[in-house]
Amino acid sequence: MIDIKLIRENRDLVKENIKKKFQDEKLGLVDEVYELDKTYRECKKEADDLRAKRNEVSDKIGTLVREGKKDVIADVKKEVNAISDAIAELEAKEENLAQEIRNRMMVIPNIIDKSVPIGRDDSENVELERFGEPVVPAYEIPFHADICEAFNGLDKESAGRTSGNGFYYLVGDIARLHEAMIAYARDFMIAKGFTYCIPPFMIRGDVVNGVMSFAEMDAMMYKIENEDLYLIGTSEHSMIGRFKGQIIKSEDLPIAMTSYSPCFRKEVGAHGLEERGLYRVHQFEKQEMVVLCKPEDAFTWYDKMWHYTVEFFRSLDVPVRTLECCSGDLADLKVKSCDVEAWSPRQQKYFEVGSCSTLGDAQARRLGIRMKTDHGNEYLATLNNTVVASPRGLIALVENNYQKDGSIKIPKVLQPYMGGKEKIEKK
């Protein structure tokens, strides 16, 4: 949610930003908010003036009592009551106007950074840099599900019976490799100075509305029936929500956290679920990084965070690249975002394994998270980034470490988490 001052003082900027995101259907909201806000402030001023008048008239009552003018007191009290009734009507009008303004402000997109490339969708994202040499071995790399099944490590058929399409069982060495990667990601981020956290895996609706747009919520989140609770789609939701309504001392910033959670997503829309594989599923596990900082430090943290993900995957012998997300591919709350993509030697192309975003003060403004400064309480900045999400991370790991003899080489950094094993072999 943007600062309403932008609409009061620079409507053209807000409209131009909407056009850059190819959301012209929202242009009318800007003028609607402007007019509603104008009426709201007029209404508030009128109510404030009436309160001052009520105080002035009320003061007369004491004087009239002392002067013994009982016949006039009743008329003055009637005037006070009439003013109070008028104030009550104006307060109700203020409340309705404030809600109408907020409803519209919640769907007006955040102002994107000037460095964001302009494009309609993810097909127009821009490659920034490659890390590691993308290798295509002389031998065939099987489909990742086939690799896992060859180790008796994947059972989607049973998961279909218990849970339906989009779920899976990981078994044996494959399950252990998956958890080794998550545990290593945890320790990797702790070594970078991040505080480890396991958050609640369900959050209330007001927190959901604070961390994401309505469109994202409807497409992603599972709601618990008859309760004001949602299963999280990423631990960022809980982690940012932890500070809802809080005032943080500026000297305590930045707050850098790394969090583990299972994640649950509907995965509705054009992409759909992957029938055989593990690329797009309803449930996965994730190690995340979340930062709260001063707004002026946000881009420094943004660069640090996506570099950490690159470093993590390179330590697993996985080549990666970074993509700058274009304007049309940015979610409404994001100021700037980039994807980290891993190399697939089987497909001979890159695929997304993580995303880093700075959201400015949008989430903080929605959730009322402020920092205490010498100039008063101000909204802070929030950022989030994927360290690793698995099974996607697992796909990248097994494909890039698959050997000609059908074994999977275990990167050195994961060997301590695998009981010292250097590779896993078919049984």
* pLDDT per position as a tens digit, 79-122: 888 999 999 999 999 999 999 999 999 999 999 999 999 999 99
CA dihedral 376, 377, 378, 382 (to 10 degrees): 140
Residue 75 has a pLDDT of 76
pTM of the predicted model as reported, rounded to 2 decimal places: 0.90
Q: Averaged over 290-298, what is the pLDDT?
A: 97
Integer Rg of the chain from CA: 28
179 pLDDT more than 60: yes
Of 62-66, 164-168, 196-200, the poorest mean pLDDT is in: 62-66
Encoded tokens for 18: 């909407």
* pLDDT per position as a tens digit, 371-406: 999 889 999 999 999 999 999 999 999 999 999 999
- Which domains does the chain carry? 4-105 (1.10.287.40), 122-424 (3.30.930.10)
CA dihedral 156, 158, 159, 164 (to 10 degrees): 100
Q: Strands 247-249 and 370-373: what pairing?
A: parallel
409 pLDDT more than 80: yes
197 pLDDT more than 70: yes
Of 277, 271, 275, nearest in space to 143 by CA:
277
Q: How far is CA 421 from CA 177, 340, 393, in A?
A: 11, 28, 19
325 pLDDT more than 60: yes
- DSSP, collapsed to helix, strand or coil, labels residue 277 as coil
